[in-house]
Chain A
Amino acid sequence: MIHLYDYVLSGNCYKVRLFLSIIGKEYEERAVDYYPGGEHRTPAFLELNPLGQIPVLTDGAVTLRDAQAILVYLAGKYDAGRSWYPEDPETQGAIAMWLSFAGGELMNSSAARLHDMLFYDFDIDKVRAAAHAAFRVLDDHLTDREIDHGDWIVGDNPTIADIACFPYVALGGDGGISLDDYHAIRRWMSRIKAIPGFTIMPGIHAT
């Protein structure tokens, strides 16, 4: 059985919940008292993930940290059609590029949200500006894709690159980052919300 160490307000945990829902894979939740309890900094949790971050996923003997790594594993192991993480190196390279972006530049949106919502100590102007810069890069890319009749970040189908990038873009408003100027992003978000099995989290609405 898959176990997901999870916090309901975490966008990174939501990446995994969303993907498990879309591929219809059952799992058991292990609720982590991230806020206000700070359970991710306890010795017991650090044994599971020395970086003190959520999510963590276990599946039999496998223990994985990092939402992007978990998506790669789940898509490879449980998506029989291999459409979410295709096997050709060209597509895999392109997906890896956007997975890295999701775990890197887009995390500025997460920082703004943690600052505005849960009292984290970030330079709010700096992280908001960096989040806007990242949103602009994604919006330009999605505009180019639309010109080429592409609906998704990579290839002709949704992939784990879309799943990884979606949450902290959709949660931008929580950190005071308006999506008003990102038209291609907003159209792409509507397409993601129409994927069968799509599921919401607090701050992300169904339509």
Chain B
Amino acid sequence: MAKTNDPVALNDWQAIGNLDEIQSGKRRNTRLLGQEIIVEMDGDRPHVFEANAAGGMGREHPAQILYGHIWTTLGKPEKPPLDMPEFLEDKRRLVSCGAVTVRASALRIVENFLDMSHFPYVHTGVLGEEPITEVNDYKSEIRQPDDELWATECSFFQPQAAMSAEDGQVSEYMYRVSSPFVTVLYKTCPAVEGAWDLVGIFVQPRDEAVCDVHTFMLVLDDLSTYTDLVHFQHKIFLQDRSILENQLPKGLPLSVGEETAVKADGSSMLYRRWLRQKGLKFGTWQGDRDSQAA
């Protein structure tokens, strides 16, 4: 497919790779919103170009480095990428887990990330375990003026909530969706009382039903090795991948009643309504059109 003409998707900042993946003087080809793009590092400054028909460098787009990742936009964003002041706290460790391609809509990835009800079934023995399957009541809301979705007061019993967890614990969660393809969760830190660990996914929508998922953790954990932390995150995310790839329709339905809602889906329902109000089309289910995307 060609570059989308969906202004909602275009006029936003998207992460397109982490800094470890591209060295100064090197180029990397990737894809964003149906458009082939070329990423180039000039010293510590990133440049992003559309690839032209011949594969050469076409129009240049804005680019910046934030949170260990390169961000760009193919349009004119109304707001900057999300603000995460925790990245300035020097005791935290940033773990960039690398990108993984998933043949699913980027919106499906974010919605799955918000969903606690799948923990006991998909992440058995780690993020949940039968018979404790009930999702406790939580709050979800759109916060202004930043226009972000927050789900708060979430809690779930977890056998191994993080790499640093030795026993099961009731984890408290806050979910934050700052833009349609960017989400981060704040989660009880097993190592430090009263602190939150951050786990985030920056989803790079390549096409309507294909995306690259960039995962990071920003944790207070002096004991686990970097590799142990990466493996923990890979295990969790790849347990989701095969299930995400099998979800139908490929695009996310936004209209009410397309998929049955239960109480636990509060944040999911709000996410879909929020996307609908924005008028987002990219990665959504549009009836017949979806059969082509699939």
Contact = CB atoms under 8 A, between A and B. Distances in A.
A and B held together in a complex: yes
Interface of A: 7-9, 31-33, 35-37, 39, 116-119, 173-174, 176, 202-203, 205-206
Ranked 9 nearest A-B pairs via Cβ: A36-B98, A202-B238, A33-B227, A31-B227, A8-B231, A202-B239, A8-B235, A31-B231, A203-B242
B230 A117 contact: no
| Interface band, chain B | 20 to 34
A118 B100 contact: yes
Contacts, number: 57
Nearest to A39: B227
Given A9-B238, A173-B242, A202-B238, A119 B227 contact: no
B103 A176 contact: yes
B148 interface: no
A9 B234 contact: yes
A193 to B, nearest CB: 14
A36 B21 contact: yes
Interface in B83-137: 96-101, 103, 124
Interface in B13-58: 18, 20-21
B248 to A, nearest CB: 14
Contacts of B100: 117-118
Contact of B242 (A32, A33, A118, A174): A174
A174 B285 CA distance: 23
Contacts of B235: 8-9, 202
A31 B239 CA distance: 18
Contacts of A33: 226-227, 230
Interface string B225-262: 11110110011111101100100000000000000000
A8 B234 contact: yes
A13 to B, nearest CB: 11
B20 A36 contact: yes
A186 to B, nearest CB: 15
A118 B102 CA distance: 10
B245 A173 contact: yes
B205 to A, nearest CB: 16
Given A8-B231, A33-B226, A37-B230, A119 B99 contact: yes
A174 B241 contact: yes
A6 to B, nearest CB: 8
A198 B180 CA distance: 39
A32 B21 CA distance: 18
Q: Which of A8, A116, A174 has the largest number of chain B CB atoms within 10 A?
A: A8
